[in-house]
């Protein structure tokens, strides 16, 4: 049977969501997928489990990089036996590291695929807008200059719709298609924290972090919001801002 659940994790201690390969061989580095598959096998494979071989394969709705968090990552896997959802989730969470958890386990159709069936992904980026640090800022990036939310929103509005986002991708993008649809992009402020929510059908490698870096370049150099449109239309990564820290980025939700 095919099952799916949501996975929550704090990404700072992992090399990303996906198992890392080098020359076709798995690299011995901690990943969300690796920890999840080990826990699933420990729970379901029993004495037949082989620690050197992953006996349960998981499929993620999308790849997240080192340091990126998740609240709504969706993962599917297949298991021969029937399971009791509440008991299974409880037991799996007891096995997983403290910075990884699962919820909302359900049976899905065999045609369902966590990645290929997804219609929309929602990301959130957060950073601190304050001159001085605070011990409770955690790993969030701190921007010292004043942020103008109205200007930032105007910049974000240029990203809405279907576009070639080549200017905002890093070289690690595996999919040759650079066209994405952005349904919503907004910026909010809560106290000293700036929150940027972006919804799209798909995202390129480091796309959200580079968009945020471009927003900060526009604000930091007092460029017109139209600069975002110029960067977008250039289809040239050199025109965009820096790729900011991953620690403020969270995959919030995946819709099907």
Residues 104-163: tens digit of each pLDDT: 999 999 999 999 999 999 999 999 999 999 999 999 999 999 999 999 999 999 999 999
Report the alpha-carbon distance of residue 98 to residue 58 in Å, rounded: 20
Residue 177 binned pLDDT confidence (cut-offs 50, 70, 90):
confident
Q: Which helix (H) or strand (E) holds 125?
A: strand 120-129
- Give residue 17's pLDDT: 96
Catalytic annotation, pick one of 65, 98, 109, 146: 65
Phi, psi of 200, rounded to the nearest 5 degrees: -155, 165
State yes or no: is 139 an active-site residue.
Answer: no
Specify the DSSP class assigned to residue 245: -
Q: Each residue of 161-189: b (16+ CB within 10 Å) or e?
A: eebebbbbbeeebeeeebebebeebebee
Cβ-contact 209, 192 below 8 angstroms: no
- Range in 79-83, 87-91, 108-112, 155-159 with the lowest mean pLDDT: 79-83
Whole-number Cα distances in Å, 47 to 50, 51, 89: 8, 11, 21
Domains of the chain: 2-108 (3.30.70.580), 120-255 (3.30.70.660)
pTM: 0.93
Tokens of 47: 């004495």
Q: In the predicted model, is pLDDT for residue 58 greater than 70? A: yes
Cβ-contact 234, 167 below 8 angstroms: yes
Cβ-contact 131, 198 below 8 angstroms: no
Name the residue with tokens 């007092």.
Answer: 222
């Amino acid at each position: 049977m095919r099952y799916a659940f949501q996975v929550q994790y704090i990404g700072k201690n992992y090399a990303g969501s996906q198992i890392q390969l080098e020359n076709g061989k798995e690299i011995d580095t901690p990943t969300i997928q690796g920890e999840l598959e080990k826990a699933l096998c420990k729970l379901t494979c029993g004495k037949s489990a082989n620690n050197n071989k992953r006996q349960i394969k998981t499929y993620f709705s999308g790849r997240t990089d080192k340091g990126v968090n998740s609240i709504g990552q969706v993962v599917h896997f297949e298991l021969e036996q029937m399971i009791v959802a509440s008991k299974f989730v409880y037991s799996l969470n007891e096995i997983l590291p403290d910075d990884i958890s699962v919820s909302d386990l359900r049976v899905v159709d065999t045609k369902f695929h966590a990645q290929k069936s997804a219609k929309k992904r929602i990301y959130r980026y957060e950073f601190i807008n304050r001159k001085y640090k605070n011990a409770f800022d955690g790993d969030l990036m701190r921007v010292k200059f004043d942020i103008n939310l109205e200007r930032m929103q105007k910049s974000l509005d240029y990203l809405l719709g279907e576009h070639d986002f080549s200017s905002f991708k890093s070289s690690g993008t595996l999919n040759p298609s650079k066209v994405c649809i952005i349904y919503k992009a907004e910026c909010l402020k809560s106290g000293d924290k700036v929150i940027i929510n972006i919804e799209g059908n798909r995202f390129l490698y480091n796309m959200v972090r580079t968009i945020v870096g471009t927003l900060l370049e526009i604000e930091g150099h007092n460029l017109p919001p139209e600069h975002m449109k110029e960067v977008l239309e250039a289809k040239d990564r050199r025109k965009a801002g820096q790729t900011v820290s991953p620690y403020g980025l969270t995959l919030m939700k995946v819709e099907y």
